[in-house]
Structure 1
Amino acid sequence: MEIFSLIPITIITFLPILLWGYIFSYLDNSPLGARRFGLGIIAGAISVVPVLFMNDIMTFANLVHWNIFPLLITSGNETGIMLSLFVTIGLIAVSIFTFSLGLFSLYIGKVWRIFLRNTSIILFIGVLFTLFHLILFKLDIFNAPLSGGGVTIAGTVFGTLKLVLFYYIIIAIIEESSKHFSVLSSSFPYIDSVKKGVLFSVFIALGFGFIENILYLKNVAEQSGIWSSGVLTTWIFRSIFSLMTHIICSVIVGLYFSRALLNYTTLPRMMPYIKTLLYGFLFSILIHAIFDISLTIGFTGIIFIYFFGSYLGITRIFYEEE
């Protein structure tokens, strides 16, 4: 696709991003700060990089053999799965930390400790996932082939509910970790209330969704034309339902992280901090995975449940914190 064809795609993709930004700023009873919104969009865009280009990053670091997805489809290699997930999470943290140096250098010196602490918590989630993978294979359930064929990634077929479950949980871990690291690198010093932590998480999610939606629309436009009904349908779906899912998942992590940060940062209270953030991540990953799995198995009604439930939930957060 020519570069000029990306201009209208970028414009129509950004309009709902801007609208959502104003909506959530209104809920926060604060004007949309152009600088804070812009930094959030940039940081959110950065968070997409390690997600989309993980294979390239692994190739550059000579770590291709640690690609986790081929390992998910068989049992008996849980150690490899855990180590691969550790490598993946570590690369995400290092990538975002590195990419953020030029843009948020004033903040990086203040956040490296929290980066290490929260990375350790996410690594523990990797341990939990490994146990989940082992148990589910031992139980030998959810093995029926999916009628829609499941998901195929780089030649690896996730054709049963069990394998699709594994795949989307890993996707959720990767995406929510990446967005959270971008919140840390761009906004951590400014989180002095739960509402601010939630609002900054919304902006990061919007930046993530902005880049992701551009790429989705670009792919559809290349296949059916930029002014096709497919582009319009994809734009509507991605701008409303997919964006809201990204937002609510980021908000969940941002909510629990902000609570942990503001209440449990001293050493004697480190366990409550870990438990609070761990719960937030697990809840967010579950919500994210359920959405993707539901669409894969054909339960499209989930988009309306998530849209209205997410909006009401986020609204409640802002009003409760007043």
Structure 2
Amino acid sequence: MSKRAAPDPVAVLRGHRASVTDICFHPSKPILFSGSADGELRIWDTFRRQTLSSAWLHSAAHGILALASSSSLGTNKFVSQGRDGTVKVWDFDDTGLSRIPSVTIKTNSYHFCKFSLAKNQSTGSKAGEASKDCLETEEVHTNQSCSESSEGLSYVALSGENSSEVEIWDLKSAERFARLPSSIGSNSSSVSSKGMCMALQLCVPSESQGFLNVMAGYEDGTMLWWDVRNPGVPVSSVKFHSEPVLSIGIDGSCKGGISGAADERIVMYSLDHSSGTCVVNKEITLERPGISGTSIRPDGKIAATAGWDHRFLNDLTLTV
């Protein structure tokens, strides 16, 4: 990778009183959401480069851990996650932010792992056109649809109350939809031995007929590929990293992705849904260890990483 001088920023947005912990763009509006360690959210107009609204969504003692906005939620909604064990859905409009969240999920999860909204496949069938097959989960003991015909998927994956488990919650009903591994499976102890769940990506591949899949990274460097149709045993288990996995990205086709960890490797991999295998396509060795963030451009051709060495790499061409 060639070293190039960092370009000057187009703009610098100032206003937070504490460290900024997460940011996300609105999927269709010129709006940026930013959250800080003291629990404050700011909504920015990226054209005018000024604050439209601000509020404290989570307590100052815990702060905001993650933010997300998605077209599947609706144009005037976003989600926040705090270190206070809650995930909240908020409404906003031109007049500002709602004072009370429309949905509050009390997860009893107090970890550093950021949640993940469901990523729908960007090509082929949309989530709203997915199969309405059902799954019986141990939490609710009733058949639940894995997709919704009118508004798309509205699920979130997060590290569970047991830090080695992955939980999937319905953002509309505020009920837990699935737990991975499920308590009825025999794989719980082997997953616990991998340590805490550190990174997540929830997606809906077309090959899964509308069922949720999760890629989860763990403290020992392992990544597990889960399908909610078989919550007791992962589809695949790989160990591409020697240190905790800190970030996972999946491309728009849900057929490959990129992972970063506390070690010196960036790994690009492909997901073969027919065989249930995860295979390395490309590996990049860094001069200095530590990748805390990864992201893939919507067209799936370019990936970016955020490193502990203060560098932001955005010239990683995906080969998945």
Same fold (TM over 0.5): no
> TM class by shorter-chain length?
under 0.3
> Whose strand fraction is larger, Structure 1's or Structure 2's?
2
As a proportion of its length, which structure holds more helix?
Answer: 1
| Higher RCO (CA-CA < 8 Å; seq separation 6+) | 1
